[in-house]
A and B are shown apart, each in its own frame.
Chain A
Amino acid sequence: MVVGDPKIARLLEHPALWRGRSAATRAGLPSGFAALDEHLPDKGWPRTGLIEILVSRFGSGELTVLMPALAALTAAAAARWCVWVAPPLVPFAPALASRGVVLDRIAVVGGARHPLDHPTKSRSPLQMTFSALQEARFRGDPGMWAFEQALGSGVCDAVLGWVRQPKPRDIRRLQLAAERGRTLGVLFRPRRAARESSAAMLRLSVEPLSAGMRLTILKGRTARRDALDLPWPGR
């Protein structure tokens, strides 16, 4: 192929033509922390796909690290929704608002006020149709089902999920749903899940420090595996 050929150059300008090089420089979502942006593969959070945040303890700073990105997403002119699936405690609206998150764009599914119980049903597997059987595993965990629905619906910019013990197959489904809906999915899991394999495109762990938090990228299209210490956003 002659690179200087004007015909090819014109062809390459066509917007429908996807080139491998452009994938490498996809614009990420600025995380709001300059040091973290340097560490992340696309100079920011991915805009589409599933990421996993592994924490040793709930409240290690895993939400704080996402806050500037969520604020930017919800305050955008053509913002879609930001759905929180089964959060373990109540998201505190004044704190979210003070960090610039637009509350109008937030929907909470389940959570501390209405825990997602297992639906009461006593149908035997023999009575179910094939598609019902396929979905039955998801049906056991309404949080997982809601997470996949929100990710794949295409009406959310970001979906945060706290799901109990997802299987590797479930995570693959979530990743596919996120790509289908062009949504950023964030799955919060305990630190011990780092041993399991995962289809998420980015995995990082967050540990609390006395004056901040330590982030380590466990998986991602980047060579940087060293820990990054972020100070607690000061106020």
Chain B
Amino acid sequence: MRPHLIRTAARTAKLPSLSIPADVPLRSVRRAALRGATATELWVGAHLQKFDAPQGLEQLAIRAQRFTPRVSLAPPDGLLLEVAGSLHLFGGVTGLQREIIEECQRLQARPLLAFAPTPLAALTAARAGQPLIITDLTQLVSQLAPLPLSALRWPEETRVRLARAGVRTIGAVLRLPRAGFARRFGAAQLAMLDALTGRTPDVRAAFKAPVHFRRRHELDCELSDHGQLLASLAPLFDALGAFLTTHQCAVVELDCRFEHRQAPPTRCVLTLASPCTDGRQLAALFAERLNALQLPEPVRTCELRADQLTPQLPSSRGLWQPGEQGGEAGEESGGLIDRLRARLGPDAVHGLALRAEHRPENAWAATQPPALRSRHAVASRATHAMEEAALPARPLWILPSPQPLAAQDGLPRHRGALQLMSEPERIETGWWDGGEIARDYYTALDAQGVRLWVFRERTEPHRWFLHGVFG
């Protein structure tokens, strides 16, 4: 067995295209390579019993990357490792097996390992509870044949139909005529069988550990001045900018920790309206945020963290400046929102939206500041607004909550007697959410001629309220 394995490792070295964690565009290259060299891969399928935390699987994948760079996830409870190139280093199949199991047990996972030349075969054997070690493609089918069909995790309905036909093992299903099988049970299942036996290449997306940026800076002396603190943070922001450029990522949230001599560390979190890739822009925004921060003690160490990164390709910019020659306001408008939020607080900026509600308090909603939409979307909104025009007159301003008004002879007063200008508009009910109302709304003119929107409760004691100003 050993000479064979050494030979395969040597062949892998000769065929570099095989060791590339292939994504879809490489498929044709890989297929050509596979035709020439069979069984150059050796996969470990790990079935993790009673283990269904997706976070845990990723942690395990990160740890498993010390065995091989080619690790793939098979959620919810499977892990695949291509180990042909690593066997020699870890002392062959047995040594590798022992080390992987130890690594899994450190994360409280109980793995069952199987080795096979195709990833699906390794995973299927592990899921069937058979710790098979198949290193030769020619033995693959005969070794897999006795395994039960349930390990393939096909849909229940397919499995029941196959069982009724007397097909209960993988060997039996592989003996079925291909054309008839594809017609009765679907081409997807046939493709899975081909991947299982290595007839077609099974391309697995390689797991990539999520990247994050963390950088600490020990200050030469303790600082309490915001300006000096910002200056000492500048290299960190430069490093962050370079990191984002090389990784083609953008940050949405930036976390900065200031450590003091005695007080607990101060956190300063900057949340952005739109992903940002520019280190200098981030530094400018962070300066605004820092200005509003109170430090309990001088700072000894600062640490900059960007844990949530989003992939971002630099987009091409428009030829025209915003507002010039029909150029639209681009992503720069996110910069204004970010600047306002950084200084005034994350809730200080909001957008407006309509809600399909008859109660005035609920007919609008504060939203996130509007992302810029395409012209088409704007046009559709404009027609929507035209439909809304059928409503009776509404005031441009509304009070956050209705303000009680004094009344005299059944008429409301607000800095003098109010003169009712309109027929009442009745707005009622809201029993479904407890916000029941029963009101008669009027347009009223006060002594100076300001138009107000007032209402009279229909229930006792018929109080008057001010609810809006026509403005």
Contact = CB atoms under 8 A, between A and B. Distances in A.
Given A114-B345, A155-B322, A59 B352 contact: no
Given A89-B469, A107-B369, A154-B332, A102 B378 contact: yes
Contacts of B225: 127
Interface in B255-299: 291-292, 294
Contacts of A232: 451
B396 A63 contact: yes
Contact of A78 (B326, B337, B366): B326
A113 B366 contact: yes
A195 to B, nearest CB: 20
Contact of A89 (B339, B340, B353, B398): B398
B470 A110 contact: no
A182 B320 CA distance: 14
A145 B350 CA distance: 17
B377 A104 contact: yes
A208 B332 contact: no
A209 interface: yes
Interface string A88-130: 1111111111111111111111101110100111110001110
A109 B445 CA distance: 30
B450 interface: yes
Interface in A36-64: 56-64
A95 B394 contact: yes
Contacts of B333: 80-81, 153, 155
Given A91-B396, A93-B363, A94-B391, A62 B471 contact: yes
Contact of A103 (B326, B343, B353): B353
Contacts of A139: 291
A80 to B, nearest CB: 4
B386 A95 contact: no
Interface string B103-145: 0000000000000000000000000000000000000000000
Given A78-B323, A103-B352, A98 B364 contact: no
A108 B349 contact: yes
B80 interface: no
B327 interface: yes
A182 B323 contact: yes
Contacts of B471: 58-59, 61-64
B17 interface: no
A90 B336 CA distance: 22
A182 B469 CA distance: 31
Contacts of B360: 92, 94
Contacts of B469: 58-59, 89
Nearest to B324: A182
Interface in B419-471: 445, 448-452, 468-471
A155 B372 CA distance: 11
A154 B352 contact: no
B175 interface: no
A107 B332 contact: no
B6 interface: no
Contact of A64 (B377, B378, B470): B470
A185 interface: no
Interface string A206-219: 01111000000000
Nearest to B287: A132
Interface of B: 225-227, 291-292, 294, 321-324, 326-329, 332-333, 335-337, 339-340, 343-345, 347-354, 360, 363-366, 369-370, 373, 375, 377-378, 381-382, 384-386, 388-389, 391, 393-400, 445, 448-452, 468-471
Given A80-B333, A92-B468, A107-B350, 7 more contacts: A63-B396, A94-B360, A103-B352, A119-B343, A153-B333, A155-B329, A155-B336
5 contacts: A64-B396, A64-B471, A100-B382, A104-B373, A116-B348
Those 8 A-B pairs whose CB atoms lie nearest each other, nearest first: A208-B449, A93-B364, A95-B394, A155-B333, A59-B469, A63-B471, A89-B397, A92-B398
